[in-house]
Structure 1
């Protein structure tokens, strides 16, 4: 009797998810004694009535590595450990449905589960593993904020999209002698902003890990104009904030644990004007553009390798671990290692020092 493997994609979508699904399915097909299934909308496919679980056949997986998003859909609202339940009075109460989830997975007789997701998803993986689920994690996030892996798929595509956009803003900034502020994703980690600033040649890069002094930023812009350049380009991560200032945020969607960030580009614009910056300022917020579209070749390769490795780990009963990319090798780490700390930008890292050596201002 063939063994059964379940794949699911949780958290925010990102380019490369489908390449992982295809990598698992194609590698499993070589062994011939495995059948691969997918749970639609992360663990919701298992928890819903009726259940929404599909078989990943040859025709389903064919050619999906070039597609953005995920054919299995995803959600960042329905954490099975803290599951939102709507009450009669309109409020939301959170319940732990992990035991129910474990029971259902056993009833469905899955021999292995592959959970593709970011930090939150892998914390769920850890809890389920401790409750007896044969689970393996695959790291996914455009923010590149998972520790224990040098790179997450989706990140390079997001940086490429941001860089392409930044390049276009440079020419219009120069044409109109403007300051252009481009806001990119990065709730707590400034990796996208930092890489984009270096790749695009930004004058200023503002990230969550280095709170900025608006007076220093204003001074840098003035110096730029005084040198006869006549324009300046700024990259700012959505979670960046000034010294002694809180993040620009709004309440999250109902059923979501996350606060929705956004609008920091406009906040920075207001701060610059209040500080006396005389330049004409324009703001651009990339938002979910960074999550969409076809993954670049690097992310297709990395995601596919992750999928192959995840299946091979399942076949060898190497559960309670997460696939990782370390020192240019695809390997694995324990779920404890994968979730023990957050992978933010170290302000003392060579990457930041190199950026400062290029005269990029961080507002510090």
Structure 2
């Protein structure tokens, strides 16, 4: 539930966490520009949750400021005071000027502790994880921050919810190419990912057709298939596999044979990284990360091996599109939505309402709860997917008649 601030807000921190997406810099810029009209200063916190956790406050405020022309500040100096001048052109760039990490302060690996926090690791093995939330709270106090604007996906926001529960004023902005943050229909970065996917998949057709290949395109989507589904729609891909609906490899092999019956003998299959294969789960490798996720093997390469065994005469080309989709300048919509989300958040700040996330639901901008780990990721509605044809489903599209007004 939202909280209410009664004391004046003079300084806010802003950070970006998790994987970068196009649209983060426009959000940062919009926060800074709106804050200036409200008499609020904005302090950028570099490297996501790592910055506010690992900063060594014994060095003093000035020594912690990042200065691009001073190499001594490139490591361990996590602060970037932001203003209109130094954010004026950042909306034209991809990535995030604040950089980002997947740090979870509540589950920090002992081997990652900086020297000044080594005491937290005493009595623990290097792979053990410790809770540094007390350090985060101490650093927020040291920086005299009245709250944090947190731009991130469900993992980053889940720790924001931890701080919110401890009384820290938090305002969330959702971002992820997976578009699966609970409580909102749109996350920054999604539309650019779809536009880029359509572009690259269309380009791949010339190579696939020249060599009679079936291209297997790996997309983001560990738990939700929105990115793969939308990319399949706009690129007219032949087949699609998503996490929400199980698929049988033998059935897929038969469909691939059918799809390749064209003059160039090629086809396109789009795969969510978390595609659900009946009786054959995609292997996971390595230990869980700070948020409990294990790395999944490349679904395109894994499926290429499985299909090659079933269709030895077909050449399968696995292509990983994931990091191409998150690089470069945002498209127009991912410049538009960050501006609206940032101004929505700053309106909540102006109202004194905190502990909320900006969201867009059913066609309107709203505030909603910051999703903690008890919230499940948003999922594709199985009704939008053909469970036997392995492709988007359009036949159910309909709508009511409404007269002109």
Match of 1:355 in 2: 392
Give the counterpart of 1:282 among 298, 317, 321: 317
Q: CA deviation at 1:265?
A: 0.7
Give the counterpart of 2:245 among 190, 197, 210: 210
Change (3 A) 1:139 1:267: same
Match of 1:362 in 2: none
Q: CA deviation at 1:338?
A: 9.7
Q: CA deviation at 1:91?
A: 2.6
For residues 230-241 of structure 1, the aligned pairs below 5 Å read 230-241=265-276
For residues 160-199 of structure 1, the aligned pairs below 5 Å read 160-199=195-234
Match of 1:45 in 2: 51
1:158 aligns with 2:164: no
Change (3 A) 1:231 1:317: same
For residues 125-144 of structure 1, the aligned pairs below 5 Å read 125-144=160-179
Retained in 2: the 8 A contact 1:146–1:338? no
Retained in 2: the 8 A contact 1:8–1:115? yes
- CA distance, structure 2, for counterparts of residue 57 and residue 252 of structure 1: 40
Unaligned segments of structure 2, at least 5 residues: 1-7, 65-77, 112-120, 396-405
Change (3 A) 1:153 1:254: closer
Match of 2:110 in 1: 85
**TM-score (normalizing by structure 2):** 0.82
Unaligned segments of structure 1, at least 5 residues: 359-364
- CA distance, structure 1, for counterparts of residue 43 and residue 239 of structure 2: 46
Change (3 A) 1:254 1:223: closer
Could you say what secondary structure the match of 1:19 adopts?
A: helix
How many positions carry a matched residue from both structures?
Answer: 356
For residues 274-353 of structure 1, the aligned pairs below 5 Å read 274-276=309-311, 278-335=313-370, 340-349=375-384
- CA distance, structure 2, for counterparts of residue 354 and residue 285 of structure 1: 19
Retained in 1: the 8 A contact 2:106–2:131? yes
Q: CA deviation at 1:158?
A: 1.0
- CA distance, structure 2, for counterparts of residue 288 and residue 248 of structure 1: 20
Match of 1:250 in 2: 285
Moved more, 120-129 or 94-103: 94-103
Retained in 2: the 8 A contact 1:7–1:115? yes
Query: Deviations along 1:233-276, whole A, 9 cap, x unmatched?
Result: 11111111420122233226976743223421111111112223
- CA distance, structure 1, for counterparts of residue 374 and residue 195 of structure 2: 27
1:10 aligns with 2:17: yes
Retained in 2: the 8 A contact 1:6–1:112? yes
Change (3 A) 1:104 1:300: same
- CA distance, structure 2, for counterparts of residue 133 and residue 96 of structure 1: 17
Retained in 2: the 8 A contact 1:141–1:152? yes
Query: Deviations along 1:101-120, whole A, 9 cap, x unmatched?
Result: 12321232211211111111
Query: Deviations along 1:163-200, whole A, 9 cap, x unmatched?
Result: 11100112222222221111111111111111111111
Q: CA deviation at 1:301?
A: 0.4
Change (3 A) 1:284 1:17: same
Give the counterpart of 1:28 among 26, 29, 35: 35
Query: Deviations along 1:93-149, whole A, 9 cap, x unmatched?
Result: 211111231232123221121111111111111110111101111111111011211
Match of 2:403 in 1: none
